[in-house]
Amino acid sequence: MATLVTFHAHPDDECLRTAGVMRKAVEDGHRVVLVVATKGEVGEVPDGFLAEGEKLEDRRVQESHAAAAILGVERVEFLGYRDSGMMGEPTNDDPACFWRADVEKAAEQLAAILREESADVLTVYDDNGDYGHPDHIQVHRVGLRAAELAGTARVFQATFNREFMQRGFEAAVEQGLMPPEAAPKPPENVEFGKPEAEITAAVDVSKYAAVKRAAMRAHPSQISEDMFMLAMPDEAFTFAFGTEWFIRWGEGPGITETDLMAGL
């Protein structure tokens, strides 16, 4: 049995990026640990969604534990930083937010968990945090430094395959699996994901598509039933989210790995 630690910025991020490899690792007999930098305090919910007096961060923590249970995660930890919000928002200036955290200090917090777990594999995000979100970029910085401090040699940067996503959504619309207006579009002037040529690992997690979708449903404060991830037909969902993509320095060129836990 080996240990996989997945490091994420906010509750629900794990479902979109690594839920498949997490569940796969569990079913292959490994231990999985989820570490989240913030409690997602800056997320938005409709009026009346929360109970009277309920705080959004408390609800999002509950949702994280519910999703983790679905995925088979054995330990969930929060580093205690505040959600920074989108890049350029005033919340970026909050001294308690993750974007403003001292990288060395935050990395030592994560490294302590990596040491406790004798972590074999760590997942972080790519250097642009998928689409330039400050907390996601900080996950990249803090995660890589923590791996250095703890001596965790196998580090995978979760990303999205830019060309695959575009091809997939175009095909789904053409085949009538998704209405054109439902196909998500990257924010303007933002580089989303990474070019296929930079990706070194592609893990087929289509077997776990239903579990991945169930974990998404465990985060109703952020992923509503009418969002495209849950609204699309099962076939389209499996195509779009049935592969998880990573970059591992020292591997490639091209995709040379298909299992984060191979050989462990």
Q: Domain holding 23: CATH number?
A: 3.40.50.10320
Q: What pLDDT is recorded for position 114?
A: 98
Q: What pLDDT is recorded for position 173?
A: 73
Residue at 252 is within a domain: no
Residue at 257 is within a domain: no
Residue at 260 is within a domain: no
pLDDT tens for the chain, residues 1 to 264? 999 999 999 999 999 999 999 999 999 999 999 999 999 999 999 889 999 999 999 999 999 999 999 999 999 999 999 999 999 999 999 999 999 999 999 999 999 999 999 999 999 999 999 889 999 999 999 999 999 999 999 999 999 998 887 777 777 777 776 677 766 665 555 678 899 999 999 999 999 999 999 999 999 999 999 887 898 888 888 988 999 999 999 898 899 999 999 999
Residue at 261 is within a domain: no
Q: What pLDDT is recorded for position 182?
A: 65
Which strands sit side by side in the sheet containing 75-81, from one edge to the other? 75-81, 31-38, 3-8, 121-125, 154-159, 243-247, 201-204
- Please count the structural domains in the chain: 1
Q: Beta strands 243-247 and 75-81: pairing type?
A: unpaired
The residue segments making up the domain with residue 107 are 1-246
